Amino acid sequence: MSAAGPPRGANHAPSGGVGVHTSAILVVRPSSLGDIVHALTLVADVHTHRPELAIDWVAETGFVPLVELHPGIRRIIPVALRHWRHRLFAASTWREFGSFRRALRGEEYAAVLDLQEQVKGALLARMARGVRHGPDRASIREPVATFAHDVHHAINPDQHFIARCRQLAAAALDYRVEGPPRFGLVPPPPAAGMVPDRPFVVLFHGTSRADKLWPDAHWRRLIETFATAGLSVVLPWGSDAERTRSERYAAGVANAQVPPPPRQTLPALASLLARAEIAIGVDTGLVHLAAALGTPTVSLFVATDPLRCGVGPAGAHARDLGGVGSIPTPEAVERVAGELIGVPSRYALRYSPLGRPGGLMRRAPRC
């Protein structure tokens, strides 16, 4: 979506105080994938408690398609920080930055919510017009970022990011957080041939941090277990290295599928995940997307804390296994998968009718 494109949803209104003379708030959370998914839970809260307010969002260009999946966002303002920092002295960079700044300052907001918790987010929030809100120095990831905020809120940092985002929005807009998180993402219909014609699982082994990877032998066992149960196994990838790993894991397993190039877009992956029997993966953004879409999800933690960044808060359909220095076993993953969707462990597969091909009903999309 273009920064200068037409707003989505509510109309513009004169600027002024919250809920009186202005019609919108701005959320600054440009990255990353999982954190944006978590932050989007505030949209339903704001629409419930402050229905007069439209919501605009600053997002990195690569994540604009993700934010576009939420019908509650009126306007998305793309920012290309990841691109600009590698071409700092190029004339095109400064032209694009100028266009971004004009789009950002085109409206005075009732509130500007900086959820990035870093200096880069603070600088973007500082350029916007409106009262800027952020966590206080004891709550924020980079305390120096508080210089850009007009109002500072005490938000307990030792809790899940979903809770922190919802609480900051509630504090800024004067309401109380109520009920479980609601993500509100709506995936598009799948393109022809992009979804397997039999019940399937999606496995995400790739991550940007090597210390978050799950052992190869564990993945291979899990793939064989699901394939034996008669399910197709889809192994998406986001880089050449991940594609090579997917192909290695899938080798010799008839029901294992590696999507061909080019890599799938975020909307296409959302459509796939919404129709999967279950998604299993390491601590990465696409696993959080699966949980947000209501798909039974198991997140595997090896080097990060599930209490702060797990899928569990999404609901009973989402489970976290492992933790810092604690590697989940394949047996544990099979057991939890069985609890979520009825696929039994490898041992039980020998005796269960679910172990026969076609033993599971195809799930309808949840969104």
Amino acid (1-letter code) at residue 201 = V
Q: What backbone phi and psi angles, to 5 degrees, belong to 246?
A: -60, -45
| CATH, domain range 200-355 | 3.40.50.2000
Query: Tokens in use for 102?
Result: 């004009």
Asked if domains 24-173 and 200-355 share a fold, the reply is yes
**Any idea what DSSP says for residue 210?**
G
- Percentage of the chain with pLDDT > 70? 87
Query: Tokens in use for 232?
Result: 């197709």
Query: What is the tens place of the pLDDT at every residue in 268-316?
Result: 999 999 999 999 999 999 999 999 999 999 999 999 999 999 999 999 9
Query: What is the tens place of the pLDDT at every residue in 89-133?
Result: 999 999 999 999 999 999 999 999 999 999 999 999 999 999 999
> Is 308 exposed, middle or buried, given 0-12, 13-18 or 19+ CB atoms closer than 10 A?
middle
Position 10 pLDDT exceeds 80: no
Position 1 pLDDT exceeds 80: no
Euclidean distance between CA atoms 44 and 166, whole angstroms: 10
Position 7 pLDDT exceeds 80: no
Predicted local distance difference test score (pLDDT) of residue 85: 87
Which residues face 257 on adjacent strands? Answer: 234
Inter-CA distances, 38 with 109, 208, 222, 223, 287, Å: 22, 19, 28, 28, 12
Which range is least confidently modeled, 151-160, 185-194, 212-221?
185-194
**Domain positions in the chain:** 24-173, 200-355
Q: What is the pTM (predicted TM-score) of this model?
A: 0.89
> Is 47 exposed, middle or buried, given 0-12, 13-18 or 19+ CB atoms closer than 10 A?
middle
CB atoms inside a 10 Å sphere around CB 354: 18
Query: Tokens in use for 226?
Result: 């699901």
Position 360 pLDDT exceeds 60: no
Position 218 pLDDT exceeds 80: yes
Q: What backbone phi and psi angles, to 5 degrees, belong to 196?
A: -55, 150
24-173 is a CATH 3.40.50.2000 domain? yes
Q: What backbone phi and psi angles, to 5 degrees, belong to 115?
A: -105, 5
Euclidean distance between CA atoms 132 and 127, whole angstroms: 10
pLDDT band at 196 (very low <50, low <70, confident <90, very high): very high
Amino acid (1-letter code) at residue 185 = L
Position 23 pLDDT exceeds 50: yes
